[in-house]
Amino acid sequence: MKRVSLGPLPIKVSRIGFGCAPVLGRVGKGDSLYAMGQAFDRGVTHFDVARSYGYGEAEGVLGNFVSDKRDKVTITTKFGLVPARSSKIVNFAKPVVRRLIQTIPALASKARRHSLKFSPTRSYDVPGARESVEKSLRSLKTDYLDFILIHDCENATEIGDELLLFLEKLKVEGTVAAWGLASTYDSAGAISALLPRKPDIIQFGRLFGNEMNSWDQELGETPRFLHSPFGGRNMSEVWCRLWKDKRLQHWAKTNDIEIENKSSLYRPLLESALYEAPHQILIASMFQEAHIDENTQASSNPKFESAQLKSFIAVLREILGDVHPKFVE
Ligand SMILES: NC(=O)c1ccc[n+]([C@@H]2O[C@H](COP(=O)([O-])OP(=O)(O)OC[C@H]3O[C@@H](n4cnc5c(N)ncnc54)[C@H](OP(=O)(O)O)[C@@H]3O)[C@@H](O)[C@H]2O)c1
């Protein structure tokens, strides 16, 4: 797997990062550790986690995984969303629910709706940030973080100058290598344009429509991490619209590509994201071994030619051009 430099930052990161949002949610500890190992063995050395993932416990699982290979991996974690604690009963029930969902997939949306009751709360003050970073370091069993991101902030007024000074100080101390914003494309860009100190990186969900926005040029070379190459939370809408559209079928036919079912679309979706963002990092959740295999192959051994990917991207923009403003994470 190729690793890329991130602008002026002295760090190289694997082109595909492993997204840890499902850890201790839809995926249990053992399966999470197994998937992390499979991804690492195939060259994925970047891991994206957050204090809020897995009811505040996902970092601990990643910490177990990286404890003997910390110098070989890069880690992003985030602060600002304070994880809700799940009750003992919910913790006890989680493995049972996971097994039930494997047998009856239709239960997944019910379980998702229930998990929303445990939504994290937001806080972007310095004491909260300090406490969060300390917990992250402990859980991840490390004394430094590669990237620390302000999680899901929607408005520049929520970020005070003291917080920016705190983040810069973490850099000077060597506790973090870089800080940034993880939000929607529109919020991250608008906030960054207003801040007196610019973030080192910004992270947002993959855009399927028109990419350029007024702040895009202002950020210039600021490295971007793009998550959810398959649509993330908007996956069902993205897929429903793509799948039904004759323009997609026409693209497949003219390029002599067989699309027998929806899973045939993952590969062109990922390869087109890699093609569109040649110097950026893509973060995907991938817990099944076959998915890890396919996704790492997409980076090291692409199936599609540039012309095919270009026309695929054009089709995506036509069909999904208006999807991106709805990306709220
Ligand atoms: N604010 C933020 O910074 C923010 C917000 C959202 C997400 N994220 C990060 O981005 C990561 C990815 O986001 P996401 O999970 O929402 O979206 P995603 O990566 O677009 O989609 C993941 C889904 O696609 C499936 N999949 C992956 N590769 C596949 C393949 N080759 N064939 C078939 N299915 C495949 C996965 O299945 P399996 O897992 O079963 O293999 C999973 O169900 C998160 O884990 C998180 O780290 C960050």
CA–CA separation, 145 and 118 (whole Å): 27
Higher pLDDT among residues 45 and 8, named by residue = 45
Domain parsing of the chain, residue ranges: 11-84+119-235+277-288
Q: In this predicted model, what pLDDT tens digit does every residue of 174-212 receive, in sequence order?
A: 999 999 999 988 889 889 989 999 999 999 998 887 666
Are 74 and 47 in contact, with CB atoms under 8 Å apart? yes
Average pLDDT over residues 131-138: 98
Q: Which residues of 284-312 are buried (b: 16+ CB within 10 A; e: fewer)?
A: bbbbeeebbebbbebbeebebeeebbebb
Q: Structure pTM?
A: 0.91
As a whole-number percent, the residues of the chain with pLDDT over 90 amount to: 64
Question: Of the residues 285, 289, 293, 323, which should be mutated to test ligand 1's pocket, given the most ligand atoms within 8 Å of the CB?
Answer: 285
**Which three-class secondary structure state does DSSP give residue 25?**
coil
Residue 197 alpha carbon to ligand 1 centre in Å? 31
Per-residue pLDDT, 279: 87
Q: Coil, strand, or helix at residue 1?
A: coil
Nearest CA, atom 3, ligand 1: 182
Does the Cβ of 180 fall within 6 Å of ligand 1?
no
Q: What is the pLDDT of residues 48-97, one digit of tens each?
A: 999 999 999 999 999 999 999 999 999 999 999 988 766 555 666 666 66
The answer to whether residue 113 scores a pLDDT higher than 60 is no
Strand-pair category, 9-14 with 3-6: antiparallel
Fold of 11-84+119-235+277-288: TIM Barrel (3.20.20)
- The values of phi and psi at residue 209, to 5°, are -100, -145
Output the six-digit token pair for 272.
């087109």
Q: How many A from CA of 270 to the centre of ligand 1?
A: 11
Do the beta carbons of residue 48 and residue 17 sit within 8 Å?
Answer: yes
Mutation pick for ligand 1 pocket among 150, 235, 286 (CB with most ligand atoms within 8 Å): 286
Report CA(232)–ligand 1 centroid distance (Å). Answer: 6
Q: For atom 2 of ligand 1, which residue has the closest CA?
A: 182
Would you state the pLDDT for residue 251?
Answer: 94
